[in-house]
């Protein structure tokens, strides 16, 4: 039996800013906000198809990854070849400079330096 991916959790020092980036740049819908008992924003959950992207508050500094790193090192969103250039421009407009391109993918960083990609790489 194949299991679908339920969620990905991404730690962020500024939950609101990082969630806003994914909401606005990639059109992810906000589905929930969670607060601590004292009322401080703890997380924002965004829907990406059937998978949730949970932006969770952390005090830990970001782990900048270059290339392939140990553990999770990249969030890649599906685009069509025709959508790629427009989404690259949108990322650039939001301050996420495209730092690398391949034949099928473009790579940038979210506001806290996490690697993000848009890709139309053919699936097997």
* Domain residue ranges of the chain, discontinuous segments joined by +: 1-59, 73-124
Residue 24's closest CA among 94, 82, 85? 94
Mean pLDDT across 98-121: 95
pLDDT tens digits, residue range 11-28? 999 999 999 999 999 999
User: 73-124 domain in CATH 3.30.930.10?
Assistant: no
CB atoms near residue 110 (< 10 Å):
23
Please give the model's pTM, rounded to 2 decimal places: 0.91
Tell the CATH topology of 1-59: 2,3-Dihydroxybiphenyl 1,2-Dioxygenase; domain 1 (3.10.180)
Minimum mean pLDDT range among 40-44, 66-70, 92-96, 98-102: 66-70
Q: What is the DSSP letter of 68?
A: S
Please, are residues 115 and 99 in contact by the beta-carbon 8 Å criterion? no
Record the tokens describing residue 10, joined without a space. 């991404």
In which element (H, E) is residue 111 found?
A: none
Confidence category of residue 68, pLDDT binned at 50, 70, 90: confident
Mean pLDDT over 3-13 rounds to 93
């Amino acid at each position: 039996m194949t299991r679908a991916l339920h969620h990905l959790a991404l730690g962020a020092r500024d939950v609101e800013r990082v969630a806003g980036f994914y909401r606005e740049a990639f059109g992810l819908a906000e589905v929930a906000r969670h607060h601590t008992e004292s009322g401080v924003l703890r997380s924002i959950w965004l829907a990406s198809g059937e998978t949730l992207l949970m932006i969770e508050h952390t005090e830990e500094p970001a782990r900048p990854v270059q290339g392939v790193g140990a553990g999770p090192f990249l969030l890649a969103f599906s685009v069509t070849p025709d959508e790629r250039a427009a989404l690259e421009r949108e990322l650039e407009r939001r301050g996420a400079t495209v730092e690398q391109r391949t034949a099928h993918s473009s790579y940038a960083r979210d506001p806290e330096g996490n690697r993000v990609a848009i890709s139309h790489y053919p699936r097997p």
